[in-house]
Structure 1
Amino acid sequence: MNFVTGISSHTDVLSVSDLASEESRSTATPMMEQYIEIKANNPDSLLFYRMGDFYELFFQDAVEAARALGITLTKRGQHMGQEIPMCGVPVHAADDYLQKLIAKGYRVAVCEQVEDPAEAKKRGSKSVVRRDVVRLVTPGTITEDKLLSPAESNYLMALARIRSGSEPAYALAWIDISTGVFRLAETAESRLLADILRVEPRELILPDTVFHDPELRAVFDVLGRVAVPQPAVFFDSATAENRIARYYGVKTLDGFGSFSRAELAAASAAISYVEKTQIAERPPLGIPERESVASTLFIDPATRANLELVKTLSGSRDGSLLKALDRTVTSGGARLLAERLMSPLTDPERINARLDSLEILVDQPSFAIDLRDALRRAPDMPRSLSRLALGRGGPRDLSAIQAGLRAAAAISRLLLRAELPAELGQAQEAITALPSELLAHLDAMLAEELPLLKRDGGFLREGANAELDEMRALRDRSRRVIAGLQLRYSEETSVKSLKIKHNNVLGYFIEVTAGNAGALIDTDAARARFIHRQTMANAMRFTTTELAELETKIANAADRALAIEIEAFEAMTREVVAHAETIKAAALALATIDVSAGLAVLAEEQGYVRPVVDQSRMFTIAGGRHPVVEQALRLQAANPFVANGCDLSPPAGEEAGAIWLLTGPNMGGKSTFLRQNALIAIMAQMGSFVPAAAAHIGVVDRLFSRVGASDDLARGRSTFMVEMVETAAILNQATDRSLVILDEIGRGTATFDGLSIAWAAVEHLHEANRCRGLFATHFHELTVLSEKLGRLSNATMRVKEWDGDVIFLHEVGPGAADRSYGIQVARLAGLPASVVTRARDVLAKLEDADRKNPASELIDDLPLFQVAIRREEVRAPGSSKLEETLRALNPDDMTPREALEALYALKKEVAGR
């Protein structure tokens, strides 16, 4: 399959080029000829071709869709001597099928009837109803509730490259048409993947020349089917400014700000793609906002994955930092929280403005609770607004705007109770700007219970429109008139089973059983009055002049009532869309309040503190905890999390930060300690309180983490190669403001090679990068570097040995570990006792300093070629079977019955000796 388009290269079925041929069209039926023409104009999309109540797919599209959706593949006639594959999905359930196709990377062209069938018949009985594509459904341009995740943004991103001078200029533009967000940023080739993954677009469009550039192949290999090449004309910088101005209906972009050529090209491409996919509709996009690359904390792709910020390495949201922090109660708040977590700030003033908002809510918990209660009643206004603007909205979207405006009014009243810091004050201003007359109008018009679709009617309340009330009264009274007419006909004909029914073919009709039909046809008077319509197997159907006239009145009343409601719906939609910018600004304000209130609740619940964030090089954390692990331990009712401090601040008389060299056993907690400090820095710079007793963090500009082991076999990279590539990126890019977290560098190669690499890396971080860092290692030889490097300190994970076992204390203290306790950890993992015993023996001989070549001497007594090892050979020296049995018992884990049985077994063994 071609993952760019989602269309298979399967050749057993006629291809798009075959369908577009002159011979193909000349042999097609009129309907199939229309299909072929539309499909030829949309070769890279599955074509949903509307036929009645179904969207039908033909030829290769049908084969692809049937396989992807798990639906039946059928046939419909022949074309050019081949049977035509066909499958279809009901129109009313199309969203469910679209969701599956979009998730699998397909793009879908939705083709609707754009002509009344009655008009088509005027051109001839065999004329085909005109159809055309009304929208292209792609992963980055969806708006339907069923296709979107409420807590996640759905970004379409455009990448532009401008060649000018020695170095090409790159820019990114990203749009969420479901909310109207539109942002721009310049980037560089070295940080291109990191900047794309920070936004996490669902679809990335880029010039085909860039897509096929071998220098960027690695970037697009990682992105996979998210990257979709487009014609280079989309990214023409010469026409970009005019294209953007035309979309917004302005003559110049001077009022929008200053943008580079690359940014304009990216923004223009994004707008062009939106226009291409939405056909005649225009989503209410906000004015493009320019982001500076220096305004957010740079987190490279490996670090983002290793720290599991929004999802774990297995792809689950559970276990991520986002899941641990999320206490939001609105969809907009959940999306904003994720955005802040993915893009922490580097400006202390902006960070502290966010922290001020949290502090007032932490200090006034009842205020935060009241705000959250009001926020729970606020629906997702931006997404409803977008659907209304695109002509895909329904009465419930108007109701969402209504409920959002009502919740905003309640929150505005609550905000008047407190003296607000800057961020909350700005939010209050945005909420106050909402037009009260719009809410009053929606309250006056909308009913309490609303249908999903406007075509169902019934969404205007009684009293909203006098003519509508009149039509409804006629329609509803007619039902009683029909019932009365049925009773009268039944009495006059003496046929008690006579019924007046309705269907879409005959309209209203009288139905009697075949046995009772004589009363309606036996006399001339009866035949003149009851006009025969249809004979069924067990019944006959009739009408009367009186019933036909009544049906006309009822039909006209129902049609007119629905027409009135549709007109009112369109008028309300226009009124709402006219206030789009104000509504979006208020929705962002509500999301901001939700994030602040949610983080305040989290801080109170988990005992977090406000960090000090400034422009210094400080990094001092007292009693730090891992936010995810700590919550998991509480849920499991396990031992409490052991808090540890970390001080990477510049030593006295130094300007650059410190580096800790961390040694200690596996399972001692090194990786947890490394990650928690990185996560605390991210939380502080996103504007959250942190899991610590106290924290002082000088702004980090770049965060690097090399934790864990993985390979990249698809690109021919071993685990060690991946480790070296990531380490190289860190050593080449870290600055004196960066925070670097490194774990077990050099472990994937020979001992002396690995030690040498780790040694040189520590020296480089200290002397060249001059960054703050944590360097965990099992190479204890590195600890001597603290004597040479002034800002390097040794720290270790403390353990306690008791009766041959090792107890992990999970505490960090000064000093260096003298051993790794690997064999003890292996025993805890369940390695066979014979392996553990042999490992101890080998270790003792290898550590014997008096032996010149202990490894060669071990070869002579390695038991690799023995068929079996007697149980006695694997016992510890001097131990007996009875002692081993005793050691294996764990009284704390035994039931009284198990303990008694064990005691009898021991007695029996002693008696038998």
Structure 2
Amino acid sequence: MAKSKSEETPLMLQHKAIKTRYPDAVLLFRVGDFYETFNEDAVIASKVLGIVLTKRANGAATYVDLAGFPHHSLDTYLHKLVKAGHRVAVCDQLEDPKTVKGIVKRGVTEMVTPGVAVNDKILENASNNFLAAVHFGADNIGLAFLDISTGEFFVAQGNVEYADKLLQSFRPAEVLYAKQQQKLFRQHFGTRFYVYTMEEWIFTTTYAQETLLKQFETHSLKGFGIDGLPDAIIAAGAALHYLRDTEHPHLQHITNIQRIEQDDFLWMDRFTIRNLELLNSGVENGHTLLSTLDTTVSPMGARLLKRWLVFPLRNINEINERLDVVEYFIKETDLSRSLHQHLKQTGDLERVVSKIPLRKINPREVMQLAKALQQVEGVKKLLENSPNNYLRELSQKMDPCPGILCRILEQIVETPPVLVSKGGVIQPGIDEELDKLRNISNNGKTYLLEIQKKEAEITGISSLKVAYNNVFGYYLEVTNAHKDKVPETWIRKQTLTGAERYITPELKEYEEQIIGAEEKILSLEIKIFDELLLALQSYIQPIQQNAQMFGNIDCLLSFATNAIQFKYRRPLITDGFNIDIREGRHPVIERGLPPGDTYVANDIILDKEQQQIIILTGPNMSGKSALLRQTALITLMAHMGSFVPAAAAEIGLTDKIFTRVGASDNLSGGESTFMVEMNETASIINNITSRSLVILDEIGRGTSTYDGISIAWSIVEFLHDMTEHRPKTLFATHYHELNELENKHGRVKNFHITNKESGNKIIFLRKLAPGGSRHSFGIHVARMAGMPPQLLQRANEVLAHLEEKHIDAPLEKHVKNIAGPASKVQLSIFDAHSDTFKQIREMLDNVDINRLTPVEALLKLSEIKNLI
């Protein structure tokens, strides 16, 4: 039988009313000195936080589940709940229980979700915590990325591939979209993000425009350069709405919104970001390019470096501007050392200043802010006369904010407590009343002795003493021997056997002062501190700009540090199409080598006229994949404005880097290795340009040998002949048959990774050399992996038998019969029956070559091979 409303306690009725407004959040309900959770929230809290689940009486004969923790542990437990993917509503007591009869008024003061977090324990210093909003328009997808902890706000608009790339690059902690677009979102972006859906009316143009104009206090959005991005504006409006909807009304630190323009950056799809291991390694705790390059010393620099990594520049002038600064820092070692010292002492200036409008900044952080502004002053002086234009311009944009800096240093003690409620935050001499109250509080006994001494001298009562009791406070006690000396102005309060007790107006006034002094002191300190925070509001934007300038300097100093320590060289960025890398090295693998080992450097030359496509063969584990990746990473680093691990490098401006590396199933999506491989390859084929760099590793291994070779062969021919773009391509393969392509296509060149056989062993020399390899040495690799000797012996027997029977001979014959460029492919039907020939001929007759997409061509070719 369901309990009636009257059966529940007033506390639980209040909880139910508040929980109804936040049904999808874990409600932390403040009760006295504890935060309590009830019912299903208690079960979640108990499991996630490891706290005891108990029961609490709720009216007559009913109970509710209960789990709680002390209020001072909020930060720790809040962090765990949010990290576990829960939305958390913090419900506080809005009244002092001492002054209220009955139930205390309560309300949600903060809503924390994975994408809306400002707590230091939840956030990572080196990473942004972006909230993303996605809106599917008629022709484009609008995206917004907002980090409430730093105030950074970005918008973009484009097709599905572009949106997917941005989501992979920003890696938001939470993604918002309209409920009606859930199917669309899952169709295009899967289930890899923490998502939250909102009502459709939030995702409308009018509402979004009003929301943004109100936030930025402008009449239009033209000044931000986003007025032509209607879908992006809708996404941005939704993100701001969500912040206010989650009890974050104070957003004065969100002062700007920036447009991300696709053509401004070197494009890498999410497969490339994954395959090149830019942000994540395929192994636990493995090194990435980010971890390898990151020698920044400030959180602002660490976060910015990650963004530079996934958004490399495409403007030659901007790239060279960065390279010039790196070269300058390498030469000016004393300056670099001084800048490093200043940056180290800055702390997380960006996040600290963002706490001001959120009312989350504490006195110690305000003092840290002042110390950071002192570092700004120091850096500005170091760079204001720099011969480097970029650095000089940065210094001109810096503002040490001397007015507020002086005010902080004058008003806040040098080492304040974390909480203003602890007192002892404000310097002496700031407020006359505060100083007086502190004097009373700190020197109470001394003052009482002064009153006692003064009155004793005036009255001649030598035995006079000042004392205190709970009945009538402070009093003067006079023995009966001296009571005739008591002045008429004294007021008698109590008669004892041998003495009388009196009070005076002065003593009563002091009593009132001393009893309320502590409370008044705290109230005055909070008032002065709040006034300081109010004054700081006016300095949010210049302080944010200082933080951005420091982030830039930190990243460039990091590049200089790497260049010096690991012998990186300045790349030459040109308007041409060539890639010419001399003695290139893989930056990540090189760092992970055992002490004493030297990385084997290699040259790579790619161009559109002579050597457009390199077919790379060689034994397993010989270093083919490393060579492919290092070419892409060196190209990427150059576009970031970093020096590169090479003796020299000429890098033609590159607009896109594509990689298809390795084979992996997408089991959750119901896709086989081969389907994943074909999807990723199709994405490359459909998006290449003349400035693209294409890295292909072992294409076609996900299907049968004949199918795989056919597809790999046709891909190379397509890149060589069937597209006018001529993208620079590195193609590593185990299919030695592809070496035949060099004889048929002028811009295809064979190379192999050298090895040396010693008896029945193989030594990998890891050096690139012209010409193709005819052996894969798979059994040798199996031996190195520790396979049982009897298994290896049997493998050699089978291999010898297959070679004797020439199992591959028909295939080689088939490949050699493919004549001419891919646009004029003619098939010999080899050993096929006449019926099969007719069937294939009919299929080909029905194909409209001019309307056939690359993917359809690949699938059609696969179908033909299956018939054969």
TM superposition score normalised by structure 1: 0.80
Q: Which of 179, 185, 198 is the aligned partner of 2:169? A: 198
Tell me how far apart the structure 1 counterparts of residues 249 and 468 of structure 2 sit (CA, whole Å): 42
Partner amino acid, structure 1, of 2:543: I
The structure-2 alpha-carbon separation of the partners of 1:695 and 1:758, relative to structure 1 and needing over 3 Å to count, comes to: same
In the alignment, what sits opposite 1:155?
130
Q: CA deviation at 1:811?
A: 0.7
Q: CA deviation at 1:78?
A: 2.8
* Cα deviation, residue 478, structure 1: 2.5
Q: 2:860 maps to which residue?
A: none
List runs of 5+ in structure 2 lacking aligned partners: 452-466, 475-493, 811-868
**What residue number does 1:642 align with?**
600
Please name the residue that 2:842 is paired with: none
Do 1:622 and 1:693's aligned partners in 2 also have CA atoms closer than 8 Å? yes
Deviation track 1:289-333 (CA, whole Å, cap 9, x = no partner) reads 1111121222111221121112212464x5011111011111101
Deviates further, 250-259 or 585-594? 250-259
The aligned counterpart of 1:304 is: 273
Once the two structures are superposed, residues 436-469 of structure 1 have per-residue CA deviations (whole angstroms, 9 ceiling, x without a partner) of 1221111111211111111112122233333322
Query: How far apart, CA to CA, are the structure 2 residues paired with 1:580 and 1:320?
Result: 35
Structure 1 residues 136, 298: CA separation in 2 closer, same or farther (over 3 Å shift)? same
Alignment partner of 2:554 out of 573, 579, 594: 594
Conserved? CA contact 2:135–2:232, under 8 Å: yes
Q: Which amino acid aligns with 2:330?
A: V
1:577 to 512, 537, 562: 537
- Check if 1:251 corresponds to 2:211: no
Q: 1:479 to 1:830 in 2, by over 3 A?
A: farther
**Matches for 1:261-300 after TM superposition, within 5 Å:** 261-300=230-269
1:447 matched to which residue of 2?
413
> In 2, Cα distance between the equivalents of 1:261 and 1:728?
30
Checking the alignment, whether the CA contact within 8 Å between 1:333 and 1:595 is kept in structure 2 is yes
Kept in 2: contact 1:662–1:776 (CA 8 A) = yes
Name the residue aligned to 1:143.
118
The whole-number CA distance in structure 1 between the counterparts of 2:763 and 2:471 is 85
State how 1:555-704 maps to structure 2 within 5 Å. Answer: 555-633=515-593, 636-651=594-609, 658-704=612-658
Give the equivalent residue in structure 2 for 1:425.
392
1:712 corresponds, among 666, 673, 697, to 666
Task: Give 3-state SS (helix, strand or coil) of 1:146's partner.
Answer: coil
Q: Distance in 1 between matches of 2:780 and 2:168?
A: 40
Distance 2:616 2:497 in 1: 104
Q: Distance in 1 between matches of 2:74 and 2:614?
A: 57
Deviations 1:389-427 (A, max 9, x none): 1111110221121011000111111113531232x2231
Q: 1:306 to 1:474 in 2, by over 3 A?
A: same
Aligned to 1:473: 439
Contact kept, 8 Å, 1:237 with 1:264, in 2: the verdict is yes
Q: CA deviation at 1:668?
A: 0.4
Q: Quick check: 548-557 or 298-307, which moved more?
A: 548-557
1:295 & 1:203 partners in 2: Cα distance? 26
8 Å CA contact 2:579, 2:605 repeated in 1: yes
Determine if the alignment matches structure 1 residue 241 to structure 2 residue 209: yes
Could you tell me which of 781, 792, 800 is aligned with 1:836? Answer: 792
Match of 2:287 among 319, 336, 360: 319
Question: Does the 8 A contact of 2:176 with 2:198 survive in 1?
Answer: yes
> What's the CA shift string for 1:102-147, capped at 9, x where partnerless?
111100111112233355x3xxx33x22111122101111112111
Q: Is the 8 A contact 2:367 2:409 kept in 1?
A: no
Tell me: CA distance 1:641–1:852, structure 2 relative to 1, closer, same or farther (3 Å). closer
Contact persistence 1:158–1:266 (CA under 8 A):
yes
Contact 1:356 1:421 in 2 (8 A): no
User: Within 2, Cα distance between the matches of 1:613 and 1:622?
Assistant: 14
- What residue number does 1:11 align with? none
- Percent of pairs identical after alignment? 37
Structure 2 match to 1:6 = none
Residues 1:395 and 2:349 aligned together = no
State the alpha-carbon separation in 2 of the partners of residues 743 and 689 from structure 1: 26
Question: Matches of 1:841 and 1:640 in 2, distance apart?
Answer: 37
Structure 2 partner of 1:363: 331
Q: Distance in 1 between matches of 2:450 and 2:499?
A: 21
Tell me the residue number matched to 1:811.
767
Give the distance between the partners of 1:838 and 1:483, measured in 2 at CA: 104
For the residues of structure 1 that align with 2:682 and 2:60, how far apart are their CA atoms? Answer: 59
Note if contact 2:83-2:122 (Cα within 8 Å) is conserved in structure 1: no
Count of paired positions? 774
Find the counterpart in structure 2 of residue 436 from structure 1. Answer: 402
CA distance in 2, matches of 1:659, 1:26: 80
Counterpart secondary structure, 1:706: strand
Deviations 1:528-564 (A, max 9, x none): 999xxxxxxxxxxxxxx99999775434221222122
Tell me the distance in 2 between the aligned counterparts of 1:286 and 1:758.
51
In the alignment, which residue of structure 1 is the partner of 2:39?
Answer: 59
1-side partners of 2:224 and 2:73: how far apart? 42
> Cα distance, 1:851 vs. partner?
8.3
Note if contact 1:359-1:600 (Cα within 8 Å) is conserved in structure 2: yes
Match in the other structure for 1:826 = 782
Q: Quick one: distance in 2 between partners of 1:199 and 1:444? A: 41
Q: Deviations over 1:787-827 (max 9, x none)?
A: 11221111100001112211100111111112111111111
Alignment partner, residue 78 of structure 1: 58
Q: Which residue type is aligned with residue 112 of structure 1?
A: D
Residues 330 and 376 in structure 1, CA contact (< 8 A), matched pair in contact too:
yes
Alignment check: 8 A CA contact 2:143 2:163 kept:
no
Residues 747-786 of structure 1: pairs in structure 2 closer than 5 A: 747-769=701-723, 770-786=726-742
Structure 2 CA distance for aligned equivalents of residues 783 and 368 of structure 1: 50
Cα RMSD after superposing both structures: 3.0
**CA spacing shift, 1:279–1:407, aligned 2, 3 Å:** closer
Deviations 1:820-867 (A, max 9, x none): 11111111111111222222222122111578999xxxxxxxxxxxxx
SS of equivalent residue, structure 2 residue 620: coil
> 2:139 matched to 1:185?
no
- Counterpart of 1:98 in structure 2 is 78
Tell me what 1:170 maps to: 141
* Greater Cα shift, 816-825 or 70-79: 70-79
Give TM-score scaled by structure 2 length.
0.84
Q: What is the CA–CA distance in structure 2 between the aligned matches of 1:794 and 1:276, rounded to whole Å? A: 60
Name the CA distance, whole Å, in 2 between partners of 1:841 and 1:599: 54
Amino acid in the other structure paired with 2:55: K
Given that residues 385 and 392 in structure 2 are in contact (C-alpha distance below 8 angstroms), is that contact kept between their aligned partners in structure 1? no
Preserved CA contact (<8 Å) 2:384 2:396? no
Whether 2:692 is the aligned partner of 1:738: answer: yes
Once residues 75 and 470 of structure 1 are traced to their aligned partners in structure 2, the CA distance between those partners, rounded to angstroms, is 51
Letter in 2 for 1:438: I
Distance 2:275 2:450 in 1: 75
Distance 1:116 1:282, change over 3 A: farther
Task: Give the distance between the partners of 1:57 and 1:397, measured in 2 at CA.
Answer: 31
Conservation of the 8 A alpha-carbon contact between 1:187 and 1:195: no
- Equivalent residues of 1:385, 1:577 under 8 A apart: no
The 1:390–1:46 alpha-carbon spacing in structure 2 relative to 1, beyond 3 Å, is same
CA distance in 1, matches of 2:248, 2:275: 41
State the shift of 1:684 in Å: 1.0
CA distance in 1, matches of 2:702, 2:443: 84
Aligned counterparts of 1:799 and 1:363: Cα–Cα separation in 2: 41
Given residue 647 of structure 1, which amino acid in structure 2 is its aligned partner?
Answer: I
